[in-house]
Amino acid sequence: MTSTSAPALSKGVEGEFSKSGFSDALVILGAAGIVIPAFARIRISPIIGFILIGMLVGPAGLGAFAGQYPWLHYVTISNAHGIEPFAELGIVLLLFSIGLELSFRRLWSMRGLVFGTGAAELIGSAAILAFGLYWTGQTGAGAIGLGLALALSSTAIVLPLVGTQGPVGRSALAMLLFEDLALVPIVFLLGAMAPRAGSDAVGSLLTTLLVGGLTAVAMLFLGRLLLPSLFAQAARTKSPELFLSACLLVVIVASLVTSAVGFSAVLGALIAGIVIAETEYRGEVEVITAPFRGLGLGIFLITVGMSVDVRVVLGDWQSFLAALAGVLAVKALVTAVLLRLGGARPAVAAETGVLMASPSETTLIVLGSAAAAQLISRETAAFWQIVTAMGLTVTPLLAKLGRFAGSRVAGKELAGQMDGSLESAVLGQVVILGFGRVGRMVADMLQAHDKDYLAIESDADAVAAARKEGYDVIFGDVARPELLDRLRDRQPTALILTMDNPVLVNRLARKLRKTFADLPIIARARDTTHAAALYRAGVTDAVPETLEASLQLSEAALVDLGVAMGPVIASIHEKRDELRAQIKSEAQLDEVPRLGGRRLRDVPQPSAGSNRSTPAV
């Protein structure tokens, strides 16, 4: 090989590499392995991280300068459409995993929520949006097409944010299931509304719905019959690769079948997941497909980011922002009102409404169908595609806003209960601040020894759940000065801080010591350093999690090794006292504050009339 041909070959290889899928794979894997962990360290949602990466490396970002700076080919995605099949696979696997969490019984129990609230939410949001768009100058058919498109919400982003088990996740899942089922009828409806649509459009829609329904029933029946045998054969080989191949085969075949009859591929994946959920292989299938699902979803989010042209958005940002705000407001209000009418708690309705407000990835499909049917212009479709991409980008922020709104609503709902509980509370109770896993254990032990208690928790959902289980818990924010004043009137015998937030516990300990100068204050500490800081803040006892876990582990090991229980307990107590002395030394205290010698065991207990402030309901 001559010296002149070597540079030519090098340039040829470089050009081939930059134009191939290798450079795209480099960007995607770099995002998943390097950039996203960096975002996680600064507490930015991976969903937002992937979308921002798509905006940065896409054709409208750094990719626009690849012609001037050839080295950018290595850090940008050269073929935006080339990665779309992998993004679609990620969404398909996501719906498959959602199906794994469902069962026939659970799905049947949700039928009213799916076909009642879900249908009303889609139709109601679409009708209001269509009316608003018609009022701004859209044609009637175009307004209907845009209303139906924008009324959809994102299954791919919403469900990973909230799951499917809680009340919010259950409500969101029901509405999203109906929207996925309604996607194909919507597309056919838009085709039937086209100016040049044939008279057989409605007939085609009815035929597709009939064939799709029969196909779904057949898949459910054959899946329950054949899949257990398939996975049993794969499991006998003890080959993870073969088992993974069987999983992907089932997902892809199911998706292709529903696509072939005119329905969405995600419907087939959902059916496959529901069928497998009834087998004993559900757990292994979920674990082995999780990496593919996560990476595929990341690719989908990158494609969402690539569809946003920041320069176009900045050029007309007022219009885009107004359009997005209008869509979010209408959908949030409609969803919250319908859920409330359906009997959902106000907090659940508020959080779900805000969460479901943004458009969906399927909105892009419906917008394309409306443009193809000549119901809207290409320019109008492009405008709303950018609005949709912006909506998808802010969905994680909407989830946080929804949780905040739900907490505020629940707080107002429970504020009256708190006032009533404090008014009727027995004087001289032990007050537990924070009611997570540690607070529950403390309450159980106090109750076992007939010590009256009252717990205060700032998480409204946790309060509601605990009260249903019979715990004496009220909602309240202990950082509020008025709550501390109310506590002083109740004459507590001791305060126990169980929150897993070192900064909050330190600040609260100082406030409580100023308010209750002679009261025992027992606090949960993260480690010995945190315990020393709490002693300086004025607590009576600080219990480091790491110290106690180590002592319990040592005790269990010594007893299992045959050492007598008595000497083991004695040595554990000695070691605890030794470590506590070290902590006090680190805190520069000669001894724990004496508090007049008053400790919890020395405090007279209230009369045995009632161990509850107010019966929990």
What pLDDT is recorded for position 79? 66
Total count of residues recorded for the chain: 617
The confidence score (pLDDT) of residue 508 equals 87
CA distances from 29 to 18, 285, 373 (A): 15, 24, 38
Q: Which residues of 447-458 are buried (b: 16+ CB within 10 A; e: fewer)?
A: beeebbbbbbbb
- Identify the three-state secondary structure at position 261: coil
Task: Tell me how far apart the alpha carbons of residues 286 and 164 are, in angstroms, rounded to a whole number.
Answer: 15
Q: CB of 426 within 8 A of CB of 606?
A: yes
Label residue 530 exposed, middle or buried (CB < 10 Å: 0-12, 13-18, 19+). Answer: buried
Residue 617 confidence (pLDDT): 33
CA end-to-end span of the chain: 86
| Average pLDDT score over the chain | 77
Q: How far is CA 185 from CA 85, 176, 331, 376, in A?
A: 23, 15, 21, 19
Q: Strand 541-544 to strand 473-475: parallel, antiparallel, or no bridges (unpaired)?
A: unpaired
Q: Distances in Å between the alpha carbon of 301 and those of 55, 171, 365, 450, 461?
A: 10, 24, 16, 55, 31
Q: How far apart are CA 21 and CA 78, in angstroms?
A: 8
525-581 pLDDT, tens digit per residue, is: 888 788 888 888 888 888 888 777 788 888 888 888 888 888 888 888 888 778 777
Fold of domain 101-208+264-286+305-409: Na+/H+ antiporter like fold (1.20.1530)
Q: Which residues contact 340 (CB under 8 A, 6 or more apart)?
A: 346, 349
- Class of residue 204 by CB neighbours under 10 A (exposed 0-12, middle 13-18, buried 19+): middle
Residue ranges of the chain whose pLDDT lies below 70: 1-23, 32, 35-36, 40, 42-45, 78-80, 83, 98, 101-104, 106-107, 184, 191, 194-205, 208-209, 262-264, 410-427, 460, 478-482, 587-617
Cα–Cα nearest to 274, from 213, 219, 214, 215: 219
The pLDDT score that the predictor gives to residue 570 is: 86
- Tokens found for residue 549: 């876990």
How many Cα atoms occupy the beta-carbon half-sphere of 214 within 13 Å? 6
Question: Which is nearest to 96 in space by CA: 225, 271, 231?
Answer: 271
What pLDDT is recorded for position 597?
38
At 421 the pLDDT is 55
Q: For tokens 């007050």, name the residue.
A: 431
State both tokens at 218: 């057949």
Query: pLDDT value at position 214?
Result: 81
Residue 424's pLDDT is 53
Start-end of H helices in 342-455: 346-355, 361-372, 378-424, 437-448
DSSP 8-state secondary structure symbol assigned to residue 457: E
Structural domain boundaries in the chain: 5-74, 101-208+264-286+305-409, 426-602
21-27: Cβ within 8 A, 24+ apart: 21/79, 21/82, 23/73, 23/74, 23/76, 23/77, 23/78, 24/77, 24/78, 24/79, 24/82, 24/83, 26/74, 26/75, 27/53, 27/57, 27/75, 27/76, 27/77
d(CA 448, CA 526): 26
Q: Which class in CATH covers the domain with range 426-602?
A: alpha beta
Dihedral sign, Cα of residue 109, residue 111, residue 112, residue 114: positive
Residues 6+ apart with CB under 8 A from 337: 349, 353
% of the chain exceeding 70 in pLDDT: 79
Span 97-147, pLDDT tens digits: 767 766 667 667 777 788 888 889 899 999 999 999 989 888 888 888 899
Query: Which residue, chain included where needed, has tokens 């946790």?
Result: 462
At residue 261, what is the residue type?
Answer: V
